[in-house]
Amino acid sequence: MTIVLVGLPGSGKSTVGRQLARRLAIPFVDSDQVIEQRLGCSIREFFEREGEARFRDIEQDTLDDLTRGPDVVLSTGGGSCMREATRAFLHERGQVIYLRSVPEDIYRRIKHDRGRPLLLVADPLQRLRELYEARDPQYRECAHYVIETGRPSVATLVNMIVMQLELAGKLPAPAPR
């Protein structure tokens, strides 16, 4: 089973995804890394050169490919749920987990990270609020489960995801002790 993590930039998709994949003993894939390998440049460079619409085409094609392969934990880019077609096939082919974070929590975690193009603006917290307002409904539409990230540790978030999947019958229940 493919587990797809969606959420705002900085919500913990890659960090939680790596730990979840380790816990489930399946590979972890970061779609942004795959896209950069395919492009031969950073997403930021491509975005500036070709524009957002062209980037979203490539992102959609990449996610389409990645959800047709073997089971993985897939961390997606923050804008991956912007297109209806992408939301539909992610929801259909995987178990989609929305790591829901409020903008203030994200800002606290990533305010010093200069590698996030969407946050390289005069008021990054306001930008996060705008992204949250626009994208939260799309993430919710795509997701099977919403996990509130708040302040729990990564290990706690992984446990919450595993428990949700077990309760839904999407993972084998742990063996009795």
Please write the tens of the pLDDT for every residue from 136-174.
999 999 999 999 998 889 999 999 999 999 999 998 656
The answer to whether residue 173 sits within a structural domain is no
The answer to whether residue 46 sits within a structural domain is yes
Which tokens in the block code for residue 16? 């939680």
Domain boundaries, position 85? 2-167
The answer to whether residue 69 sits within a structural domain is yes
Please write the tens of the pLDDT for every residue from 45-79.
998 899 989 999 999 999 999 999 899 999 999 99
The answer to whether residue 86 sits within a structural domain is yes
Annotated binding site for ATP: 10-15, 116
Annotated binding site for Mg(2+): 14
pTM: 0.93
The answer to whether residue 27 sits within a structural domain is yes
Annotated binding site: 10-15, 32, 56, 78, 116, 135
Closest CA to 145 of 74, 102, 97, 92: 97
Beta bridge partners of 146: 98
The answer to whether residue 174 sits within a structural domain is no
Distance of CA 151 to the CA centre of its chain: 18
Query: Structural domain tally of the chain?
Result: 1
Q: What is the CATH number of the domain that holds 131?
A: 3.40.50.300
The answer to whether residue 65 sits within a structural domain is yes
